[in-house]
Amino acid sequence: MEELIIKAKKGDKESFSKLIHIYQNDLYKIARTRLNEEEDIYDAIQDTIISSYESVSKLHKISSFKSWLIKILINKCNDIYRRKKYYVELEENTIITNTDLSGNDINDLFKKLSADEKSIILLHFIEGFSFKEISKILHINENTVRSKLHRAKFKINNYNKEE
């Protein structure tokens, strides 16, 4: 992976393309937590690819490529969200794995969470980012990440009790 990033930093289009291919599902899942319409999701991903390609040579730490890419994506999603000013809801074909939601309908549950809470859950539990990494990606304080995750867990537990 590091070799691909090094080549991409040097301007190798094929290496950059391979990196994007590796992370395409992650980009989609994260954009899906922030935006509702498929067109907007793909626009955000496309804008992310363009921006990251133009600035990959400026990437300082090779090991932080994925979090750097996700940070760009979230900024692009936020731009679209601000332009459109709509509330994010997940559609029924959304798939979340590696979580214990006691078989509840994930869509009903996620409707109760804010966009930040959805993103934090996805970044922490699915993507495996630390609180510190998430705080950098979302541009919020690390303690805020912890409190939003705690709040989201509380909502999930209350949802489970309602069932």
3-class SS string, 101-115? CCCCCHHHHHHCCCH
CB 80 within 8 A of CB 40: yes
- In a domain, residue 79? The reply is yes
The range of the structural domain enclosing residue 73 comes to 1-88
Tell me, yes or no, whether 104 and 70 share the same domain. Answer: no
Per-residue pLDDT, 35: 86
* 107-122 CB burial, b ≥16 within 10 A, e <16: eebbeebebbbbbbbb
Q: Clarify whether residues 82 and 111 are in a common domain.
A: no
Q: pLDDT tens, 1-50?
A: 889 999 999 999 999 999 999 999 999 999 988 888 899 999 999 999 99
pTM above 0.75, yes or no: no
Domain shared by 109 and 133, yes or no: yes
Q: Where among 88, 107, 128 does a domain terminate?
A: 88
* Claim to verify: residue 31 and residue 67 sit in the same structural domain: yes
Give the per-residue pLDDT at 155.
82
**Of 29, 57, 88, which residue sits at a domain end?**
88
Buried b / exposed e over 76-105, threshold 16 CB at 10 Å, is bbbebbeeeeeebebeeeeebeeeeeeeee
Same domain? For 72 and 106 the reply is: no
- Distance CA(160)–CA(105), nearest Å, equals 10
Query: What six digits make up the tokens of 45?
Result: 């991903």
CATH of the domain at 6: 1.10.1740.10
Question: 58 and 118 share a domain?
Answer: no
Q: Which pLDDT score is estimated for 105? A: 56
Q: Is residue 17 part of a domain?
A: yes
Q: Count of domains in the chain?
A: 2
Render pLDDT for 50-85 as a digit per residue (tens, 0 to 9).
Answer: 999 999 999 989 889 999 999 999 999 988 877 765
Q: Looking at the predicted structure, is the pLDDT value of residue 90 above 50? A: no
The pLDDT of residue 46: 95
Sequence-distant contacts of 94-99: CB under 8 A, at least 24 apart? 94/32, 96/122, 96/126, 97/126, 98/125, 98/126, 99/125, 99/126
For the domain that residue 116 is a member of, what is the CATH number?
A: 1.10.10.10
120 and 84 in a single domain? The answer is no
Q: Looking at the structure, do residues 4 and 73 belong to the same domain, yes or no? A: yes
Predicted local confidence at residue 160, as pLDDT: 61
Domain boundary, last residue among 37, 53, 88: 88
- Which of 29, 67, 30, 76 has the alpha carbon at shortest distance from 49? 76
- Write down the pLDDT at residue 16: 94
Higher-scoring residue by pLDDT: 18, 96: 18
Q: Could you report the per-residue pLDDT of 107-151, keeping only the tens digit for each?
A: 667 777 888 888 888 888 877 888 998 888 888 899 999 999 888
Whether residue 93 lies inside any domain: the answer is no
